[in-house]
Structure 1
Amino acid sequence: MHGKVFFIGGGPGDPELLTLKAYKIIKKADVIIYAGSLVNEKILEFARDDAEVYNSASMTLEEIIEIIEDKAKENKIIARIHTGDPSIYGAIAEQMRELDKRGIPYEIIPGVSSLFAAAAALKVELTLPEISQTVIITRPAGRTPVPKREDIEKLAKHRATMCIFLGVHKIREIVDKLLKHYPPNTPVAVVKNASWEDETILQGTLENIVEKVENKGIKRSAIIIVGKILEAKDFKRSKLYNGDFAHGYRQ
C-alpha cells in the first residue's frame, strides 16, 4: 500500500492566509516537506509534535522524491508545502511526474498566490471595465530560459495588466523592455514580501521605478505589477451590480 502526498499552497506568507483544507492536512500529516527558503515557518506550528519535518531548500528533486517514496511505502500522509499557489512557478509538475512513475497517489491543494496578496496590499482590482480585462503573469529569462515568443517586450504589446515574478533584480532591463510599448507615465508597483510583517510597497511609473527599487535595495521576493489599473479612478462601473443590467438572478 502507498500513503498519499498533498501538494499544498502555503500562501504568500501570512499564516492566516493558509486555506482551511491545507491547515487540516498539515495538522494530520505524518511527514512535512516544506520549501524553507520561502514558506513562513510559522505554518509548521500547525503540525503534529511527532511529525517528521524536512526543509527542501537545499535538497535536489531526487532527494525529495526518495523521502516521499520511502514514507509513502510506510503508508504515511505527506504534506509537501510550497509557497503561494504551487501551480505558478512551483516546480510541482516534475515531482508529480516522478510520483506517477512510482504509482504514488497525490492531490493538489491550491493556495493564495503572492500576486493576489500584492494586489490586496495595493488595494487594487487587477481587472477594471474598459481599462484592462487581461492579466499577464510572466517572468524574465534567467538561469531558467523563457520561450522567445514570451519575452516581456513581446508581451508588453498588449498593454494589459502585467504581473512579473522573479525579476526585481532585473528591474532596469525589464523597464527598458516595457517602455517599448507602454507610455513612460504608466503606473508600476513593486511589492516585496506581500502579507509578511516586513511587507514593502514601492509605487511609481516606468520613468522612476528603477531608481526607487535600487535605492531601496530590493533584489528578491518581490512582484512587479504594471498597468493603468494601479491608479485608475475614472472607470465605468461593472454590469454585475448595475440596476439597468438584467441577468439570471436579477430582472
Structure 2
Amino acid sequence: MTVHFIGAGPGAADLITVRGRDLLTRCGLCLYPGSMTPTDLLAYCPEGAECVDTANLNLEQIVGRMITAHRQGHDVARLCSGDPSLYSAVAEQMRRLDEAGVPYKMTPGVPAFAAAAAVLNRELTVPEVGQSLVITRAQARSTAMPEGETLAGFARTAATLALHLAINRIEQVVEELLPHYGEDCPAAVVALASQPGELVVRGTLADIAGQARTAGMTRAATIFVGRVLTADRFPDSFLYSSTRDRTSQPESL
C-alpha cells in the first residue's frame, strides 16, 4: 500500500490533474486540508472511503492516520493545496514515513502562482524583459527564512517575484522592494485564484498595497512584482523564429 501526496491544484476542482483524480478514486483514506481544498474533490473518492479534514490535526496525528491505514491495507491520498513541491509541509511527513517504512509517491498539481498568472493572462518569462522567476514568501509568525534569502537580495536581481503567504504584510513587502524596483514597477495581486470570490488588483509598487487593502484581500493571495506584467514591446522568442534552422536543431528558446 502507498501514501500518495497529490497536488489538489489552486482551488477549482477541475484543476486537479487526471492522474491525481484517478488516484483519489482508489484510495481508502483521503486526508485533506479543509480550509484550502475544495470539498468538490472528495466526490472522486470511492464509496466508503474515509475522508478526514486535517485542519485541526497536528503532524503526528496526520502521519499516524497514514501509517495505520497503510498497515490496514489501504492506499492513502494526502491532498495538498497547489503543488506538493511548494509550501506544502510534505517534507516532514515524508521523513516520518521513511522512519516507519511506509512507501509514498508524489503527484504534481497546478501551483497557486501558475493559476494566478493565468488569471492575469500573463507569461512570466518575456524575451529580454524577464527570464527568471523567484518564488518566495515574507517572514511573519511562520518558520524563519534561511539566512541570505531576503526580499532585498532577490530584488537586486530585478527578477520577477511571486510572493506567497505575504498578503498580510504587503506594506512591508512594498517598502523592501521600492529601492530596487522603483515606484513605477508593475505589480499585481490575485486572491483565491480559480475559486469563488476570486479577486484581482493591478497597479504599481506605489499603489498596490492600498488597492489590496481596499479590496479586502487577506488570504490565499499571490503578489507579483516585475516588468513582465505590462510588457508589450519585446522581441519574439527564438523558438518559432522564421530564421531558425529546424532541420538540425532541437526545440529550444
Separation of aligned partners in 2, 1:224 and 1:103:
39
Choose from 41, 44, 47 the match for 2:45: 47
Identity among equivalent pairs (%): 37
Shift of 1:9: 0.1
Q: 1:215 to 1:239 in 2, by over 3 A?
A: same
Q: Which amino acid aligns with 2:112?
A: S
Shift of 1:240: 0.4
Gaps of 5+ in 2: none
Choose from 7, 11, 14 the match for 2:12: 14
Partner of 1:189: 188
Separation of aligned partners in 2, 1:82 and 1:11:
8
Secondary structure of 1:219 counterpart? coil
Secondary structure of 1:201 counterpart? strand
Q: Is residue 163–residue 225 contact of structure 1 (8 Å, CA) maintained in 2?
A: yes
Shift of 1:49: 2.1
Q: Give the alignment's Cα RMSD to 1 decimal.
A: 1.0
Q: Does the alignment pair 1:70 with 2:84? A: no
**CA displacement 1:168-210 (0-9 Å, x = unmatched):** 0000000000002001100001000111132110000000011
Partner of 1:139: 137
Partner of 2:35: 37
Q: Which amino acid aligns with 1:9?
A: G
Q: Which amino acid aligns with 1:72?
A: H
Choose from 99, 120, 131 the match for 2:97: 99
Shift of 1:219: 1.4
Shift of 1:59: 0.6
Separation of aligned partners in 1, 2:234 and 2:15:
30
How many residue pairs match? The answer is 248
Once the two structures are superposed, the pairs formed by residues 148-227 of structure 1 within 5 Å of their partners are: 148-227=147-226
Gaps of 5+ in 1: none
Secondary structure of 1:32 counterpart? strand
Q: Is residue 7–residue 82 contact of structure 1 (8 Å, CA) maintained in 2?
A: yes
- TM score, norm. by length of structure 2: 0.96
- TM score, norm. by length of structure 1: 0.97
Partner of 1:238: 237
Separation of aligned partners in 1, 2:91 and 2:49:
25
Separation of aligned partners in 2, 1:226 and 1:41:
32
Separation of aligned partners in 1, 2:105 and 2:88:
14
Separation of aligned partners in 1, 2:162 and 2:131:
13
Moved more, 218-227 or 140-149: 140-149
Partner of 2:124: 126
Partner of 1:84: 82
Moved more, 192-201 or 104-113: 192-201
Shift of 1:249: 5.4
Q: Is residue 4–residue 75 contact of structure 1 (8 Å, CA) maintained in 2?
A: no
Separation of aligned partners in 2, 1:10 and 1:17:
8
Separation of aligned partners in 2, 1:246 and 1:55:
54
